[in-house]
Amino acid sequence: MDRDRLDQVIRNFFECDPRPIVQIIRELLASLQAEQSLPPGILMSRNYETAQENPEIHTLPGNLKDARDAIFPYFWGTDGWASKLHLENVKGPANYASLIGAIACLLKNPNLCVDTYSQRSNELELKAITALANLIFYHTESPWGVFTMGGTISNLYGGKIGIEKVAPGAMRQGLAGRPLAGIVSEAAHYSNATLAGWLGLGIDHLHAIPTDRNLSIRLDLLEARLEQLHASGRAVAFVIATFGSTDAFGIDDLAGIRHLLDDFSRRHGVPAPQLHVDAAVGWALCFLVEYDLESNPLKLTDEMRPCVAAAQRACQMFRFADSVTLDFHKLGWGHYPSSAFIVNRRDDLRFLARQPSDMPYFSEADYRRDPALFTLECSRPAIGPYSVMASLNGIGLIGYQMLVANAIELATKLKRRIEELEFCKVLNPETIGPSVCWWVLPRGRDAKAIFAALEAGTLDEELAHRTFGEVKRLFEKREAILDPARDAKLSFTTSMGYRPGGHDLPAWKAVFFNPRTDDAVIDQIIRSIEDVA
């Protein structure tokens, strides 16, 4: 071994020399600043074929500038979602308090599997989980949970607990032919089908219940499906409710579902299905729970105060949940991945537990503090807790109240402006989040009358499909003629979650996740609608 050459590699890559590191970070930040003046998506050209044909690895050891040069074209070619014109989906820019937390985490690179791999970072995870649990459950006695690689995995945890409750021993023995089912709403995220397949339940045994026009699961149909499944001999392992659907921000009646599940369990003498809540998007409404509407310190408008009151009532329902998924990298504006799975009662984690003997090289693992005894992952990054605690204590409760209220206010304004146009129809007028779904039809068409006829079942089938085609055609027309320097990037959904008469409703969509978006952006959206109709 050439010791001099090895020592050079160690000095370049394993000794902390702040000068080149800080210089490269400054260069990346300068690039980020320059990017903020550009329209959204302007940098996102891609050439996958070239990337696959040129997977070069340098032969000789280099230095940190070589590392920078290898990734910089892709860093520059990735949109940071800083533009106020980004309204496509449930994604916004990460805040810079979160960046501080993420950098601190990456410098130490802890693994949250066991205490010996993470020391006080493990303690920070417990602190972050408890802070979030107190926020969503509005104080609870024994919450627990972990950060995961994403909302799908967090939902998978909830589904797995449900399976173990109704099919004890499934972790070791498998389902062994035991017929199980899960239930979601038709507005639920598609990832629920993913977890049903991966858990061995089977996608075909995940039952989607229709919603009402506010995107809330219909309790009468849920009750009927529970009875139907029980009569067929199929045990219901879980109901995954939605708190803030991805397209239209529908919220399920958690209190009503809890009552149904407990009554079902009592009458039939079976374990109650796990009530897991996918609140990946909607959890952040909880920042508004303690807002004093009477004194109104943030000077919310008269139009906004009923929205905040409705949000407060909805958030009180979290106490009925067994477990919850939340994504801090959505309306917490944190860095990926910052998803958390939280149980209302710590004892429920026993359904996921392994023994230290199952993990011989983690023989020191202690259930009281080492999540590896019940987590899916053995390697868990600590970005989540670092991002959460840096953000919560940097921005603060009042700061988050302002950010969340601003997102709702902008969505409320756009709904009102769109609904004033005869040829348009807002499809989620009563939901209380940052999402807006709507139709645009050609001028002269009464969008509201057509929608009413569709709901009543009196709309001609041919006219219904023609209407859906017009909604899509006008969206594509706007996309073709928009000015990227001033027109917001919107998105299109082929099914916004409410299905009157079994019809999937297409819709234009705007999601107000960027705190920099303002009234001028809304004004221009309305002008662009009028231009294409």
DSSP 382-435: SHHHHHHHHHHHHHHHHHHHHHHHHHHHHHHHHHHHHHTSTTEEES-TT--SSE
Annotate 320-349 with b (16+ C-beta within 10 A) or e (fewer). bbbbbbbbbbbbbbbbbbbbbbbbbeeebb
Among 418, 411, 448, residue whose Cα is nearest residue 432: 411
Q: What is the pLDDT of residue 52?
A: 81
Mean pLDDT value across residues 274-287: 98
For residue 463, report the phi and psi dihedrals to the nearest 5 degrees: -65, -35
C-alpha–C-alpha distance, residues 29 and 229, integer Å: 56
Q: What letter would DSSP give residue 232?
A: T
Q: Are strands 206-209 and 274-278 parallel, antiparallel or unpaired?
A: unpaired
Residue type, 527: R
CA angle 169-265-228, nearest 5°? 95
3-state secondary structure 152-202: HHHHHHHHHHHHHHHCCCHHHHCCCCCCEEEEEECCCCCHHHHHHHHCCCC
C-alpha–C-alpha distance, residues 202 and 205, integer Å: 5
C-alpha–C-alpha distance, residues 91 and 468, integer Å: 26
Q: What is the pLDDT of residue 366?
A: 64
Domain boundaries, the chain: 3-80, 401-532
Tell the CATH topology of 401-532. Aspartate Aminotransferase, domain 1 (3.90.1150)
CB 439 within 8 A of CB 425: yes
Q: What is the pLDDT of residue 419?
A: 97
The sign of the CA dihedral 526, 527, 529, 530 is positive
Mean pLDDT value across residues 209-226: 98
Q: What is the pLDDT of residue 1?
A: 83
Whether residue 367 has pLDDT greater than 60: no
Whether residue 484 has pLDDT greater than 60: yes
Count of alpha carbons within 13 angstroms of residue 338, beta-carbon side: 31
Q: What is the pLDDT of residue 2?
A: 83
Reported confidence tier of residue 463, pLDDT bands at 50, 70, 90: very high
Q: What does the mean pLDDT of the chain come to?
A: 93
Cis peptide bond prior to 360, omega within 30° of 0: no
Residue type, 271: P
Biggest CA pair distance of the chain: 83
CB 40 within 8 A of CB 78: no
Provide, rounded to the nearest whole percent, the portion of the chain with pLDDT above 70.
Answer: 96
pTM score of the predicted model? 0.94
Tokens 């173990």 locate to 164
List pLDDT tens digits, range 161-183: 999 999 999 998 999 889 999 99
CA angle 126-282-506, nearest 5°? 145
Tokens 């009358």 locate to 449
Provide, rounded to the nearest whole percent, the portion of the chain with pLDDT above 90.
Answer: 77
